[in-house]
Chains A and B, each alone.
Chain A
């Protein structure tokens, strides 16, 4: 048995014992679409409390990987393990109830609900579970949840739009709203798919500050991002995906100097 295989087996044993501080383990995941290999033999570990960035050129398979993690896509092979629980085969709502929240690349909000309601819905889901029949519990008397939603919306800078409809918001505001929808669930793992795309620079910086603040709270985050300013401001570790494969992993400093990354992703451009 090779040293690498031995290490992998030890890691699996650690998972089984629940002693590893790895919160997300992506094990040999493979996914193809009509013969096109979107993901090939992807192995990735995300440690508890870290911000792990996944970068790569367009079409590298980053969003596909997130979709596999949240149950939107089923891998052809391999498994995704979150905190000792195999996520593969579970439905998106079950995965969310385990503590995995996702912020989408294209803002996915509830357009016909108000901004406050948009944030209160995931908070209710966190408190009440995937289904609770409470047809006579007045939504407008959920004081604790409303106050928390107001506080989260203040953190993302949307306190002035509480009663406005989400459909009337700008794209950038919708992204911030989506972030608030993820944050209010206090997930153990937050998956962010290009959270600052479409934002102005000062909004991007505000989002970086907010995500740094969350980091202090110990929430584990996986972030897909094209903006290297965001990546190097936030990431503890970076994985580089190219052609559906992980070609490099390491700290931001290691990635900056990795020739494979330069070749596959950055080309001649300096980080």
Chain B
């Protein structure tokens, strides 16, 4: 068993790494191989993997993880403004700060379970969102959003309007025009930015895989399965839950940091509840509790957001050009309700179909197809993938 699991994990890891690194080639046929979309898939993949450590393993559904995205983004911007445009310290500080906030929010929220936990996390996130627009405006720059600026000429200039970048200045880094984020000199834009995010996604996947297979991971699964029984087994579940919440928050902080690293602007809308809901959709769509599912869900939603939302009647007309003219117009008129601005309808329908027919997400669908080909009943896997209510 031990060897089988190890072999499976190694194969899965290298397969995952290969697919992620080859995404620019693999996504070319569907026109999704441009850096901006690839970066988003990698970043939201990290976010979803982290979210799955909490939701997938423990069953605790947080509706406030976007708060850590915001915290990570703001911290990164401040690192760019105060220290250096190098992303390494920015990422480190963001992950640590998100971890600290996750500990505080988790400490309070995890006093309750089920719907009360979800509502508490939602309340915290909305509080962060509101604070960013109100009393924390000197830090967040309110609705304008926090951005990097040129080095300020005078100390009287506000830090929001002029940066200081102490480390860059100490090393005599010359800035020409708009400062750009970099990884030891390599600009964090285009494919470089994608590959930087992709490597971090692979590292995050590896860590999540190790956590899932660890003693710690099995305790988290036991919490989801029967928390009450675990208490009578001698396990204090609260520290396990807080740790899972903090790790998950740190993943979100990293994702937020990478968002700011690839596009150096941070706004409070990243902390809105819709952003928290989006990661829930990604995880459920791909497959709760699976390792690859959340990344798959993130990829599909980000693709739909960027591509399906850009389709219009003209594109649909040409797509249905093989049909007779009347039918072509009918199909195009009908289809336009589900693309462009109506892409959320498509997403909603897809989500409903998945939840009703494939409660284990797309990964369950893949398993069922695999089982059909191997002529095995997928019963055990289906049960394992079945979503459990939050404790």
Contact = CB atoms under 8 A, between A and B. Distances in A.
Contact of A125 (B217, B234, B388): B234
Contact of A130 (B224, B225, B234, B243): B234
Interface string B365-391: 000000000000001100110001000
A138 interface: yes
Interface string A89-127: 001110011000110100011111100010011101110
A89 B226 CA distance: 23
Interface residues of B, number: 37
Nearest to B224: A112
B240 interface: yes
A139 B234 contact: no
Contacts of A238: none
A168 B380 contact: yes
A70 interface: yes
Contacts of B5: 140
Contact of B232 (A96, A128, A143): A96
Contacts of B216: 132-135, 137
Chain B binding surface, main DSSP class: helix
A181 to B, nearest CB: 7
A142 interface: yes
A165 interface: yes
B214 A122 contact: no
Contact of A140 (B213, B219, B232, B234): B213
Interface residues of A, number: 46
Most chain-B CB neighbours within 10 Å: which of A101, A104, A139?
A: A139
A163 B218 CA distance: 15
B214 A137 contact: yes
Given A138-B213, A139-B218, A112 B229 contact: no
B215 A131 contact: no
Contact of B388 (A72, A112, A131): A112
B233 A136 contact: no
B380 A113 contact: no
A57 interface: no
A91 B214 contact: no
Contact of B222 (A121, A130, A163, A168): A121
B234 A108 contact: no
Contacts of B236: 91, 93, 130-131
A113 B230 CA distance: 12
A121 B228 contact: no
A122 B233 CA distance: 5
B1 A102 contact: no
Contacts of B240: 131
B221 A113 contact: yes
B12 interface: no
B19 interface: no
A47 to B, nearest CB: 24
Nearest to A120: B218
Contacts of B247: 135
Contacts of B6: 140
A141 B9 CA distance: 13
A113 B1 contact: no
Most chain-A CB neighbours within 10 Å: which of B215, B224, B231, B383?
A: B215
Given A93-B236, A131-B239, A124 B215 contact: yes
Contacts of B214: 134-139
A131 B235 contact: yes
A164 interface: yes
Contact of A121 (B210, B230, B243, B384): B230
A207 interface: no
Contact of B2 (A141, A164, A181): A141
Most chain-A CB neighbours within 10 Å: which of B1, B379, B388?
A: B1
Contacts of A185: 233-234
B211 interface: yes
Most chain-B CB neighbours within 10 Å: which of A91, A110, A122?
A: A110
Nearest to A136: B210
B218 A135 contact: no
A14 interface: no
A92 B218 contact: no
Nearest to A111: B225
Given A113-B221, A130-B235, A130-B236, A139 B229 contact: no
A97 B216 CA distance: 18
Contacts of B379: 168
Contact of B215 (A101, A139, A181): A139
B108 to A, nearest CB: 19
Given A112-B388, A137-B215, A142-B215, A70 B232 contact: yes
Given A121-B219, A137-B215, A93 B225 contact: no
Interface in B1-46: 1-2, 5-6
Contact of B218 (A72, A91, A121, A131): A121
Most chain-A CB neighbours within 10 Å: which of B5, B210, B229, B380?
A: B229
Interface string B34-64: 0000000000000000000000000000000
Contacts of B219: 121, 124
A164 B380 contact: yes
Interface in B225-263: 225-226, 228-237, 239-240, 243, 247
Interface of B: 1-2, 5-6, 210-211, 213-219, 221-222, 224-226, 228-237, 239-240, 243, 247, 379-380, 383-384, 388
* The 8 residue pairs across chains A and B that have the minimum distance between CB atoms: A96-B234, A125-B234, A110-B225, A130-B236, A108-B229, A135-B216, A112-B225, A131-B239
18 contacts: A93-B237, A101-B232, A111-B226, A112-B225, A113-B221, A120-B218, A124-B218, A130-B235, A134-B215, A134-B216, A135-B243, A137-B214, A137-B216, A138-B214, A140-B213, A141-B2, A143-B2, A163-B1
Interface of A: 70, 72, 91-93, 96-97, 101-102, 104, 108-113, 117, 120-122, 124-126, 128-143, 163-165, 167-168, 181, 185
